[in-house]
Amino acid sequence: MRSVVCGAWRAIVCAVLIGASASCGDVVRQGRSPVMMTVNSLQAAPGNNPGSYSGTLLSDVITNVTSPAPCSTDNPCPTVFSDVGQVVLSLAPKDISVAPTTNNQVTVTRYHVSYIRADGRNTPGQDVPYGFDGAVTGLVPPSGTATLTFEIVRHVAKEESPLVQLIANPAVISTIANVTFYGTDQVGNDISATGTMLVDFGNFGD
């Protein structure tokens, strides 16, 4: 009788372990790296003024360009620009007593952007622009930082709902952009980090 009970108990334990490993496999894989990747800063600049990085992005849905010809002050050309982001990334060891090595440096290969609103109206294509995945490549060293530039608002987003309606509408759509960067360390462990920033969409003065 005792052997039957023990056998049943072992079967239950095995079933629980198998279920846990199946549901948590991705989490375990992402958590295997001995370092954490951190977003030190996240900024963005409007496409019509790409050098003016700020912690808040005023994303202009349409810009009246006055040069080069045939565009002019009297005959401006309505133009759509994508907006550029800039992130500073660094690494920190999970065990502070162990210094990171070159095996721990992380190669970032892609990122994901999604937008939400504070009022909870978050339907993509109706309340906020569609989220998207993009490619960006950079090496985050075991010590120090890495600065990467990337596209945070795409051209196509300004030609789709709900942004295209802002061309002839004085309203401003205020969103929070969540930007997640993905990479691997040099032994294949997945690692990611997320930063957030305020992005306001509107037809701002040129």
> What residues does each domain of the chain span?
1-30, 33-202
Q: What percent of the chain has pLDDT over 90?
A: 76
Instruction: Give the pLDDT score at 97.
Output: 87
pLDDT digits (tens, 9 = 90+) for 134-191: 999 999 999 999 999 999 999 999 999 999 999 999 999 999 999 999 999 999 999 9
- Give me Rg for the CA atoms of the chain: 23
Q: Does domain 33-202 have CATH number 3.40.50.920?
A: no
| CA–CA distance, 38 with 111 (Å, rounded to integer) | 14
Taking the C-alpha atoms of residue 18 and residue 79, their distance in angstroms, rounded to an integer, is 56
3-state SS class at 123: coil
At residue 84, the pLDDT reads 98
Residue with tokens 């061309």: 167
For residues 80 and 160, give the distance between their C-alpha atoms in angstroms, rounded to a whole number.
12
Residue 123 to residue 104: CA distance in whole angstroms: 38
d(CA 200, CA 44): 12
Q: Under the phi-then-psi rule, with left for phi > 0, alpha for psi from -120 to 50, and beta for the rest, what region is 107?
A: beta
Q: What is the per-residue pLDDT across 89-108, written as a single tens digit (0 to 9) for each?
A: 999 999 988 888 899 999 99
Burial of 191 (0-12, 13-18, 19+ CB in 10 A): buried
The pLDDT value given to residue 16: 43
pLDDT band at 10 (very low <50, low <70, confident <90, very high): low
Q: Which residue has the higher pLDDT, 30 or 183?
A: 183
| Mean pLDDT for the stretch of residues 57-85 | 93
Q: Which pLDDT value is given to residue 174?
A: 97
pLDDT higher than 90, residue 130: yes
pLDDT of residue 141: 97
* Burial of 33 per CB tally in 10 Å (0-12, 13-18, 19+): buried
